[in-house]
């Protein structure tokens, strides 16, 4: 038969790194570089050409740049503040000491 036991006490708040939430509205922008290449009518043409490259090829290169720019923007807008990064590093250092 199992006996009831008390859960361990929660550590004091100053010894805990702040929780990380990835539920930022900026993350919705990451759908743009996924959805835009799926819109085939955008590049289902040969003309206009850029040099000797048909539209499909140079538009694909632009879509790669769009993905990089979107990812960089979302990263910059959702990264932790300096205080949160320092608190997380301090928490990691404390965990290593144990």
Give the span between the Cα atoms of 48 and 5, in whole angstroms. 73
Asked whether residue 9 carries a pLDDT value surpassing 70, the answer given is no
- DSSP bridge partners of 50: 53
Residue 19 domain flag: no
Q: Is 5 within the bounds of a domain?
A: no
* Per-residue CA distances from 22 to 31, 72, 78, 88 (Å): 15, 16, 8, 15
Mean pLDDT of 68-78: 93
Contact (Cβ atoms closer than 8 angstroms) between residue 55 and residue 43:
yes
Instruction: Please state, in angstroms and as integers, the Cα–Cα distance from residue 69 to each residue in 38, 41, 60, 91, following that order.
Output: 18, 23, 14, 32
pLDDT one-digit tens code per residue, 47-68: 888 888 888 888 999 999 999 9
pLDDT score of 89 more than 60: yes
In a domain? residue 79: yes
Tally the domains of the chain: 1
Q: What is the mean predicted confidence (pLDDT) over 78-82?
A: 81
């Amino acid at each position: 038969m199992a006996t009831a036991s008390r859960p361990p006490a929660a550590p004091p708040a100053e010894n805990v790194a702040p929780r990380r939430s990835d539920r930022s509205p900026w993350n919705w922008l990451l759908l743009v570089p996924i959805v835009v290449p799926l819109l085939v009518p955008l590049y289902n043409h040969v003309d206009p050409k850029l040099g000797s490259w048909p539209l499909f090829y140079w538009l694909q290169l632009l879509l790669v740049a769009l993905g990089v720019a979107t990812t960089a923007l979302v990263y910059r807008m959702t990264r932790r503040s300096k205080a949160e990064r320092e608190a997380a590093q301090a928490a990691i250092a404390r965990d290593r000491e144990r």
